[in-house]
Amino acid sequence: MKSRILLLGVGGLSLELLDPLIHNGWLPNLEFLLGRGVVGPLISDLPPFAALEWSTLLSGEGPGTTGFLEGWRKGSGTYFPEIANLSALARRSSRFLLARSSREAALVGVPLPADPGPLPSEESIQLFRWEEGRLAVRSLSVPSVNFPGTQESETPEGYLEGAVRRMIALSVSVARTVRDSGARMVAVHFAGLDRILSRFHKDIVSALLGHNDRGLEALLRQFFRVFDDVLGTVIEITRRTDSLIMLASPHGFVPARRVINLNAFLVSRGYLALRTEAVGELLLREVAAPVLRAMKLERGRVRKILNRPALQDVVDRTGSLLSSEIGLFDWSRTRAFALSRTGITLNVKGVESQGTVNPGPEERALGEEIREALLTLADPATGRTPLREVLWREELFGGPGLPELPHLVVHGHDPGYLFEDWRKASPSAPIFADPCDRTGSPGGPGFYCVSGSGSFSSSAGNRRLALPRLRTLPEISAMIATVLDGELSSGPEVFSQLS
């Protein structure tokens, strides 16, 4: 039987945080995996967002090839961004992991749809097979998990209870996939980890230090216990098979101080112009658009249903159903805008349908003007200048996807500063704000762990003979591709690549 790979995305965990979590007994199954495998730091110089990290892991390529930054890319002539999707990655990358094997690959909760459209749910199971140069996809049904009498809540306690329920639902999906599917590669995204570490980072650190400031320690322990139980299920199911378990966390978390909004900055400096909404448009944007998004209706489909040109125009002005707030932008008076948290695009004539900036010297001068303004932008509450490096896209990336990337990308910043969702643009939106219900900011390296069973476990005991070095997402992706191609006949060769 060919070897099997389980790629577990545990974004948000770092080696620094793992030590106290394990020392306090929160993660016994993860401790077991770390103790028998190769462990090392994993770093990404990309913006730390799940869709981008998974795009790189599955394609082996960065934004310069795929065109996706933070899970979005903007094609020429349209202001509506395309969401990162597997079909687009397959077309752009010759290293695409789902095309490496004739057998099925399974994705559980990975935040990338097969084609442009709504994101799959956290516990969804998608099975992919590469057939005649294209992805064939089908879904695997999972028994429903019901929790009668418990409602979602935005209180800290209610939020944590909801996170526990979602993790239990994910555990059912993972067990079903690993046990019942014939997939040679199973990729699982633990979305709840990143959210919990973002919102409750301070509470987790406090609990690990022996404090319980808000009385949340029991619920936090319960969440991590359920997560750890999923790992225990994977260990048990794969115990007697030739399986390679790879955990990847491309970033950790640090305490969050403040939030910065790039579109608010552009509005304040007159680079981005917003329209004045009529009452009807406001209702469409704030009431109708969220309902349509919840129904998973895409903008293109709505336009076909509303075949009268006037109604179609309303849909366009209201904006994409993935990001309705884009309808507020007045493109005819806009010189620069952000369709990602960390990237700024210039509204260039001949490239955009309503471009206002002449290409060439004027384009370059505007970009340099914005770049210098960002580097000197000071937070009035702290006196800090949090943006330390803003680069042109060609300074960071290269490849066929370069024209679809923002012209400017914030590459270095104070890690204590979060970036606000780019869709939160309004005349009154502040450039800097307090992080409200978030206490953690993604920053710093994460970790990887490679642990094997069967033929992949024979070299684990020798892992300390050499110190595993710092790894990147493309390197992890390349290692998976090597195993899927069947070029490794035994476990020791896998581990020797890491040392």
Span 428-444, average pLDDT: 92
Query: What residue spans in the chain does CATH classification 3.40.720.10 cover?
Result: 4-60+95-254+441-498
| pLDDT exceeds 60 at position 458 | no
Per-residue model confidence (pLDDT) at position 150: 43
| pLDDT exceeds 70 at position 300 | no
- Taking only the tens place, the pLDDT of each residue in 120-133 is 888 899 999 988 88
- Taking only the tens place, the pLDDT of each residue in 311-370 is 545 444 444 433 445 668 889 999 999 999 999 999 999 999 899 999 999 999 999 999
* CA pair distance 465, 495, nearest whole angstrom: 11
Span 452-462, average pLDDT: 63
Report the SS3 class of residue 451.
strand
* Lowest pLDDT segment from 52-56, 319-323, 370-374, 492-496: 319-323
- Taking only the tens place, the pLDDT of each residue in 164-197 is 999 999 999 999 999 888 899 999 999 999 999 9
Report the SS3 class of residue 319.
coil
Looking up tokens 């570490």, which residue turns up? 197
* CA pair distance 73, 63, nearest whole angstrom: 9
- Taking only the tens place, the pLDDT of each residue in 10-25 is 999 999 999 999 999 9
- Bigger pLDDT: 497 vs 273: 273
* CA pair distance 110, 55, nearest whole angstrom: 10
Task: Give percent of the chain with pLDDT exceeding 90.
Answer: 59
Per-residue model confidence (pLDDT) at position 496: 56
Per-residue model confidence (pLDDT) at position 461: 44
Report the SS3 class of residue 158.
helix
* Lowest pLDDT segment from 202-216, 228-242, 361-375, 482-496: 482-496
| pLDDT exceeds 50 at position 279 | no
C-alpha gyration radius of the chain: 23
Per-residue model confidence (pLDDT) at position 384: 94
Residue 138: exposed, middle, or buried by beta-carbon count in 10 A (0-12, 13-18, 19+)?
A: exposed
- Taking only the tens place, the pLDDT of each residue in 63-105 is 999 999 998 898 777 887 888 999 999 999 999 999 876 688 9
Q: Which fold has domain 4-60+95-254+441-498?
A: Alkaline Phosphatase, subunit A (3.40.720)
Task: Give percent of the chain with pLDDT exceeding 70.
Answer: 82
Q: Note the Cα 398 to chain centre separation in Å.
A: 21
Per-residue model confidence (pLDDT) at position 323: 43
Amino acid at 319: G
Arithmetic mean of pLDDT over the chain:
85
Where is 224: in which H helix or E strand? Answer: helix 217-238
Per-residue model confidence (pLDDT) at position 181: 85
Beta strands in 24-145 (DSSP E): 38-43, 72-73, 82-83, 105-108, 125-131, 134-139
Interacting residues of 353 by C-beta distance below 8 A, sequence separation 6+: 77, 78, 79, 331
Span 457-462, average pLDDT: 50
| pLDDT exceeds 60 at position 52 | yes
| pLDDT exceeds 50 at position 149 | no
Span 244-268, average pLDDT: 95
- Taking only the tens place, the pLDDT of each residue in 64-73 is 999 999 988 9
Looking up tokens 């992706």, which residue turns up? 477
Q: How confident is the model at residue 292 (pLDDT cuts 50, 70, 90)?
A: low
Where is 446: in which H helix or E strand? Answer: strand 446-453
CA nearest neighbour of 167 among 120, 225, 227:
227
* CA pair distance 275, 158, nearest whole angstrom: 38
Retrieve residue 347's tokens. 């509204």
